[in-house]
């Protein structure tokens, strides 16, 4: 499914990035920029109001093609307007990608339980197994993913509207997607230098946003490493 404001072949998707006061958000933005997206970053307490249909618009009045809800500290309920943003995306069928805290917010919006993870993961890697669905299409199974979280979605609480797209060998939920709407979430950090296939994952999502060339552009891209 593509965005109601899907881009043309000569245009690149406009992406609204909801920053949950996270230190990783601009690395994610760097990946999106590398892939050709046009990004606008707003803090989670300064998100513009969507229109009556749930579509978010930029300062120029043009609609965004997709919304990314970033990682961040705390719980989904403490993430400003993140859950309301996801509800608006559901109303408008605007593609949404939740990363880490954003993934947990997607789960909570649909009634899943977010609780303490089996172990604290801060900069640690795990192998993620998956069937190649949604934003995980084209990634190896398993692939290495970097995790920064102490909370996780309880797998037994995932409602019928959502499906688990990826998990660790211990069964910790690493990916979710809505069965009918273009709403996706990943618990791990695709922008981490140790995560395999991060560009491809984000390119898969940009394709959902209407950018048919994103996957081809992602080939051969290396992780961003910030110095200084």
Quote the pLDDT of residue 165: 98
With tokens 């043309």, the residue in question is: 8
Determine which one of 83, 189, 196, 209 is catalytic. 189
Nearest to 193 by CA among 127, 145, 128, 134: 145
**Residues 6+ away with beta carbon under 8 Å from 225:** 193
Quote the pLDDT of residue 85: 99
State the Cα–Cα distance between residues 128 and 41, nearest whole angstrom.
29
Following DSSP, what letter does each residue of 10-62 receive, concatenated?
Answer: TS--EEEEEE-S-TTHHHHHHHHHHTT-EEEEEETTSPPPP-TTS--B-TTSP
Q: What is the pLDDT of residues 31-53, one digit of tens each?
A: 999 999 999 999 999 999 999 99
Q: From the CA atom positions of the chain, what is the Rg in Å?
A: 16
Confidence band, pLDDT 50/70/90 cuts, at residue 7: very low
Quote the pLDDT of residue 124: 86
State the Cα–Cα distance between residues 68 and 96, nearest whole angstrom.
6
Q: What is the pLDDT of residues 120-139, one digit of tens each?
A: 677 789 999 999 999 999 99
- The predicted model scores a pTM of 0.93
Determine which one of 83, 100, 130, 209 is catalytic. 100
Q: Is 57 one of the annotated active-site residues of the chain?
A: no
Quote the pLDDT of residue 2: 43
Q: Is 209 one of the annotated active-site residues of the chain?
A: no
Given a cut of 90, whether residue 91 has pLDDT beyond it is yes
For residue 76, the SS3 value is helix
The domains located in the chain, with CATH, are 14-218 (3.40.50.880)
Q: Is 189 one of the annotated active-site residues of the chain?
A: yes
Determine which one of 83, 108, 191, 196 is catalytic. 191
**Residues 6+ away with beta carbon under 8 Å from 46:** none
Quote the pLDDT of residue 225: 60
């Amino acid at each position: 499914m593509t965005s109601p404001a899907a881009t043309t072949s000569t245009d690149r998707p406009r992406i609204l990035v909801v920053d949950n006061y996270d230190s990783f958000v601009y690395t994610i933005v760097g990946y999106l920029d590398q892939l050709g997206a046009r990004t606008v970053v707003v803090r989670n307490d300064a998100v513009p109001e969507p229109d009556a249909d749930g579509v978010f618009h930029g300062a120029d009045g043009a609609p965004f093609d997709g919304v990314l809800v970033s990682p961040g500290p705390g719980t989904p309920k403490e993430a400003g307007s993140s859950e309301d943003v996801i509800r608006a995306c559901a109303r408008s069928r605007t593609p949404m990608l939740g990363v880490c805290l954003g993934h947990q917010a997607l789960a909570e919006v649909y009634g899943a339980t977010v609780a303490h993870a089996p172990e604290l993961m801060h900069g640690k890697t795990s192998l993620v197994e998956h069937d190649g669905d949604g934003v995980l299409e084209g990634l190896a199974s398993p692939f290495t993913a970097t995790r920064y979280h102490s909370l996780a979605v309880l797998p037994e609480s995932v409602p019928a509207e959502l499906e688990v797209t990826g998990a660790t060998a211990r069964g910790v939920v690493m990916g979710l997607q809505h069965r009918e709407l273009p709403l996706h979430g990943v618990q791990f950090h695709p922008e981490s230098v140790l995560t395999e296939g991060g560009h491809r994952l984000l390119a898969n999502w940009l394709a959902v946003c209407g950018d048919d060339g994103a996957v081809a552009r992602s080939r051969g891209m290396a992780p961003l490493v910030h110095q200084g």
